[in-house]
Structure 1
Amino acid sequence: MKLRESNIQKLDRGVYDVLIIGGGINGAVAAAALSGKGARVALIDQRDFAGFTSQQSSNLAWGGIKYLESHDYALVRKLCLSRNHLIDSYPSRVREIRFLATIDKGFRWSPLFLWAGAWVYWLFGNGFTKIPRLLFKRAISREEPVINTQNAAGGFEYSDAYLHDNDSRFVFQFVRSAMDRGGIAANYVESLGARRDGDLWITQARDVIDGKTFEIRSKVLINATGPFVDEHNRRTGEQTEHRHLFSKGIHLIVPRITPNQRILAFFADDGRLFFVIPMGARTCIGTTDTRVESPFTEVTEEDRQFVLDNINKRLNLQRPLNRADIIAERCGVRPLVVKAKADGSVRDWMQLSRKHEIDVDRAKAHLSIFGGKLTDCVNVGNEVAGIVAELGIELPHRNYKWYGEPHPSVREEYVHQARLMNLDGYTSPESIETLTSRLWRRYDRQALELLADIREDPRQAEVLIKGTDYIRCEIRLAKHQEMIVKLEDFLRRRSKIALVVRREDIRNAEGLLEACEILFGDQAREKFDEYFREPSATRQASAREVESGQAVAGAA
């Protein structure tokens, strides 16, 4: 935690060009873009980075094929190009993947018509991906025997992209990039509200861990609090053109359904796209789309049954999936940005897109970021940087490319060193990916530091937490450079252990307590017990936090 403590001490020193409140995807890319271009930037979040909405996605970077139906052609075009750019910029983290969509008899559109739409989608993306295919019922059964084609009219296959790792890890890499370029970031620091004083914003902040309060001064204030944007604007007296509606979506993680590395797509009983997404040795299934009034949501028994019923209906499984097969659950809200009409109504909310909007109060130098999704994140970062420059903040390196993996020569050197030391010889037999590939994907240039650790002490290449593929030197790196405050930060967000291993198996995993000792020192047992408290107790604590008004600002 020394990095966090050091950064918190710097937050009330001097004046920042920009303070960003909220460390989800929007806040993270804004921080990375502005820091890379030379601004003096601070970033805070009252939870962990990507600790709310940004950790609950489908892990997809897609062009929004469903928005063709609502005629949002400009948005589809923009998202397709953004997807292509992510694949180009992050070749080890964002990869093309095929979607096989099966269409039931009697569906509102025929497979032939939808296949034609997939060609339009492909053209909107400049033909960047593999071409679409029309599939008849027999071909679907041959290629994916797990699909129940009894009621199928046919199907089609097209391409989009997915995050090889989890979404919250992807977000954190932008936070890390901002810090590498001089940005000051701290998790578990909440905004209590801000006021404009002359040419500066004075933000009252509180360290959630020890309760200490302090002030942060900045020339520009960016509200990137995700679903809490409206609430934080009320605290600062900001009036905006847009606001949020919330749609709850859930995913269930179950044992691997198919060995094929493709996403199976169906239209669920409510007409919404429904996915079966590969996740290594697991499969992620969902999602739901339920309008809710609050960003605080949980998976209900009705949600679980909806997902299980839809998946069992559409797959040929040796036995139907049931609640006992659920390894983990994801539940979050989609913040959908709207303009209210004169009567306060909006168009059909199920047709609303995840496009982003940035409202700017130029007189007060205040930005509010609404909506958004992972696919469009680079555009958000660039747009924010452009607005900040217009507000008079000097960006000495305005043309600097702030995103993307390191130059290919860096990876070539890393791979060469890995071969010389036979790094893949240390790969765990249970792992589905070589150590060379995984360390680069997760750490890029920092992977060279891990190689040095292993050369110095080969024990650092040993898997520390049994049942996972995380090795000792990764835990050490997380301690010093990834701002781990709670065990959940590591298990759920810096890694995806909590998404692919049952909670009880994690508790009993050999080496977990030793990992806690590396991460937390003398507090290891306390942090271990904190994570494994009864869920009901955790929910009650969260409820008290909401009631006290402390859980509404600075989260994304």
Structure 2
Amino acid sequence: MSESLDCDVLIVGGGINGAGIARDCAGRGLRVVLAEKDDLASHTSSSSTKLIHGGLRYLEYYEFALVRKALAEREVLLRSAPHIMWPLRFVMPHDPGMRPVWMIRAGLFLYDHLARREVLPGSTTVDLRSHPAGAPLKRDFRKGFVYSDGWVDDARLVVLNALDAKARGATVLTRTACVDARREATQWQATLRADDGRERTVKARALVNAAGPWAAQFLAEHAHAPRPKSLRLVKGSHIVVPKMFEHEHAYIFQNPDKRIIFAIPYEGEFTLIGTTDVEHHGAIGAAKIDADEIAYLCEQASRYFAKAVRPADVVWSYSGVRSLLDDESGDPSAVTRDYALELDTAQAPLLSVWGGKITTFRKLAEEAADLLAAPLKAGRGAWTEGSFLPGGDLSASIGAPQRPDTDFSRFVQALALAHPELPTPLVRRLARAYGSRATELLQRPRGAEVAPGLFEAELQFLHDEEWARCADDVLWRRSKLGLHYDEHHRAAVDAWCRAHWGSSGETARATETTWN
């Protein structure tokens, strides 16, 4: 007999939108079940350019409302999780053959003033012949424009939302697909199937379709409601190369095709370059970068960097499929990044999420919960603005918060003082990954070192607390340690996970060894 669950809201999709809606709804006192067919953030939500940004280029498409909404969210998000998000300054070298100076200045003026800023500094002009950001560029670039946005560890952002949802009573089921959902007058009857074949029956008062690029397919094939909005699936690919520059600024490069790409400091030792925008017509979960995309990113970056970027330099790449609302734009880059929420209350409520971007996920989740509040009679209103994500409240170590960036620096110092036995790079990595939750991890017996700087205690913490079930979950989503390890070390982590968790994710404890 299959297990049965009763809830107020069944959410299908464990990307950033699904996890954000689960968190918001659970915080309003609703009983929530979140079902994700793979790992959390295993597709689009871990394949972004990893920016918290307003979208400077969207101003050219007159997306003022979207840009204003995103700009307003930047500092809300930065304050909520200073360990996984931080301010970043972007340099746009001026290419006289591209946008004229007046247009760039006008755009940056709007970018500075469309929403209130307290933490992020405004834009300025710099002389690239003397500014550190000019050093790695070709000598042709003499003037640059500098503005502010933010950086985010996208996959960890999803996990933190799921963690907060769970802490507020939600049931989070990973590797569990919703294979059937039948609508009745006052409830949904759904069947969830785990990857080991076990099934659960869920009775839900409302269903949220947050399946991202699978949203239309889910409605047609599993929810028996084949009337979706028109979506365009656009593949975005990124490459990672050895570090191209020493300073901490990022670059935004204008291309002859009127697109832009970013070159961003990444994981200390690398530079992240992306993204492409290519119509995707294949299997959604099988998106991979192709040779043309690699060549395009290398060519466009090489127009600016003095040292050419070559395909042979690429040490890692990733691709994701974005589901964008089809506004009949011919250019995939011009398709709106805004979102739409579609609530159908003809019978038991059905809420579908179309489109969206990471920067506006919290606002999207809030609006989604607002829509569900009336039919479900939620007792609490909007609450997430001003609330910390797990690990984001650093006050126990540093006192009252001041600025997200300086707060994190003070926290790293406090954690290092509390654990002088740990190497500085390890302290900083743990602080970045877990924030104040690092103290909880460091109370566990350390166990053996499975790979450099990765101990059994952390692996088991990721299993027990963050739904990690295999090496890929650990190496490429909960962290980016896979980028720093060689094949031997990645294999060691994989072997440990298989030995201790097996196919069913059975738990195992670290041996009784301290972190000393």
TM-score range, shorter chain: 0.7 to 0.9
- AA in 2 matched with 1:315: F
CA offset at residue 325 of structure 1? 2.3
What residue is the counterpart of 2:463 in the other structure? 479
Maintained 8 Å contact 1:245/1:337: yes
C-alpha distance after superposition, 1:42-68 (max 9, x if no partner): 001111111111110001010011111
C-alpha distance after superposition, 1:119-160 (max 9, x if no partner): 2211113244212112345345x543101132x363211111
1:488 aligned onto 2:463: no
1:373 aligned onto 2:364: no
- SS of 1:23's equivalent in the other structure is coil
Q: 1:267 to 1:450 in 2, by over 3 A?
A: same
C-alpha distance after superposition, 1:462-491 (max 9, x if no partner): 85412xx43442212112122222221111
Q: 1:338 to 1:143 in 2, by over 3 A?
A: closer
Maintained 8 Å contact 1:476/1:518: no
Q: Choose from 137, 155, 159 the match for 2:144.
A: 155
- AA in 2 matched with 1:103: H
- Alignment partners' CA distance in 1, 2:139 and 2:194: 55
C-alpha distance after superposition, 1:260-303 (max 9, x if no partner): 11111111342211111111221111111112234342111111
Maintained 8 Å contact 2:397/2:414: no
Maintained 8 Å contact 1:204/1:213: yes
Maintained 8 Å contact 2:469/2:505: no
C-alpha distance after superposition, 1:418-466 (max 9, x if no partner): 959844534436x2xx61x54344224432322322xxx5x45x85412
Q: Choose from 172, 193, 211 the match for 2:180.
A: 193
What residue is the counterpart of 1:5 in the other structure? none
CA offset at residue 380 of structure 1? 1.3
C-alpha distance after superposition, 1:389-411 (max 9, x if no partner): 122x1333435448424545334
- Alignment partners' CA distance in 2, 1:263 and 1:356: 27
- Alignment partners' CA distance in 2, 1:427 and 1:420: 10
What residue is the counterpart of 1:465 in the other structure? 451
Maintained 8 Å contact 1:61/1:83: yes
Q: 1:416 to 1:105 in 2, by over 3 A?
A: closer
- Alignment partners' CA distance in 2, 1:250 and 1:99: 20
What residue is the counterpart of 2:423 in the other structure? 428
What residue is the counterpart of 1:352 in the other structure? 335
- Alignment partners' CA distance in 1, 2:207 and 2:112: 39
- SS of 2:217's equivalent in the other structure is helix
Q: Choose from 41, 48, 54 the match for 2:39.
A: 48
What residue is the counterpart of 1:290 in the other structure? 278
- SS of 2:41's equivalent in the other structure is coil
**Structure 2 unmatched ranges of 5 or more:** 400-407, 507-516
Maintained 8 Å contact 1:44/1:185: yes
**Structure 1 unmatched ranges of 5 or more:** 1-8, 340-344, 525-556
C-alpha distance after superposition, 1:82-112 (max 9, x if no partner): 11211222223221110001132311x2134
- Alignment partners' CA distance in 1, 2:91 and 2:476: 29
C-alpha distance after superposition, 1:169-221 (max 9, x if no partner): 1111111111111110111111113111331111122112x123332110100
- SS of 1:120's equivalent in the other structure is helix
Maintained 8 Å contact 1:130/1:158: yes
- Alignment partners' CA distance in 1, 2:364 and 2:352: 12
Larger RCO (alpha carbons 8 Å, 6+ apart): 1
- SS of 2:245's equivalent in the other structure is coil
- SS of 1:439's equivalent in the other structure is helix
- Alignment partners' CA distance in 2, 1:503 and 1:249: 26
- More deviation in 169-178 or 234-243? 234-243
1:181 aligned onto 2:168: yes
CA offset at residue 38 of structure 1? 0.9
- Alignment partners' CA distance in 2, 1:248 and 1:421: 41
- SS of 1:278's equivalent in the other structure is strand
- Alignment partners' CA distance in 2, 1:193 and 1:288: 35
Maintained 8 Å contact 2:128/2:142: yes
Q: Give the TM-score normalised by structure 2.
A: 0.87
- SS of 1:449's equivalent in the other structure is helix
- Alignment partners' CA distance in 1, 2:82 and 2:414: 20
CA offset at residue 378 of structure 1? 0.9
Identity of aligned residues (%): 26
- SS of 1:314's equivalent in the other structure is coil
CA offset at residue 36 of structure 1? 1.4
- SS of 1:13's equivalent in the other structure is strand
Maintained 8 Å contact 1:33/1:385: yes
More helix by share: 1
- Alignment partners' CA distance in 2, 1:333 and 1:484: 23
- Alignment partners' CA distance in 1, 2:505 and 2:394: 41
What residue is the counterpart of 1:86 in the other structure? 77
What residue is the counterpart of 2:104 in the other structure? 114
Q: Choose from 235, 238, 254 the match for 1:267.
A: 254
What residue is the counterpart of 2:211 in the other structure? 225
- More deviation in 399-408 or 306-315? 399-408
What residue is the counterpart of 1:530 in the other structure? none
- More deviation in 231-240 or 246-255? 231-240
What residue is the counterpart of 1:535 in the other structure? none
